[in-house]
Amino acid sequence: MFDSIIYKNAIGPGPLIDIGALAEGLLFYGRVAIVGNTGTIKDILARVPPFILLSLLRDGRIEFHYLADQTGVSTTPMSNGRSLHSLIRFSSPQHNREGRASSI
C-alpha cells in the first residue's frame, strides 16, 4: 500500500482541488500532499474550515507545496485568422509565500 498521494490543480472549469478526492485520500493514505499556488490555497479555504485545515497540517496529514512559478498558454492572433499558442511560465511576485505568510 502507498503511504501518500499528491493532488495538483485540476484543469478546466470548477474547483481547483477536488475536496471529495482530498477527503478520500486522507482516509486511504497516511499523508496527502497538495501542490499549488495562492489560488489553490484560497479555493481550499473556501470549502474547508481553516481550523480543520490547520489541524491536518499540524498533524502532518496534509502537506502543502507552494509553486511560485506557474505554466500557462499564451495565445496570439495571427494575420491569417489563426492563433499561435505558446507555452509560457509566469510568476506573481506580490503573492509569494513569505509575503502572504507574514500578513496572516
pLDDT at 98: 52
- Cell matching residue 33: 500532499
pLDDT tens string, the chain, 104 residues long: the values are 578 888 887 666 667 788 899 999 999 998 899 988 778 888 899 999 999 999 999 999 999 988 776 677 889 999 999 999 888 776 665 655 554 443 33
Q: With a threshold of 0.85, does the pTM exceed it?
A: no
Instruction: Return the DSSP state at 87.
Output: E
Residue 102 CB neighbours (<10 A)? 7
SS (H, E, C) 49-85: CHHHHHHHHHCCCEEEEECCEEEEEEEEECCCCCEEE
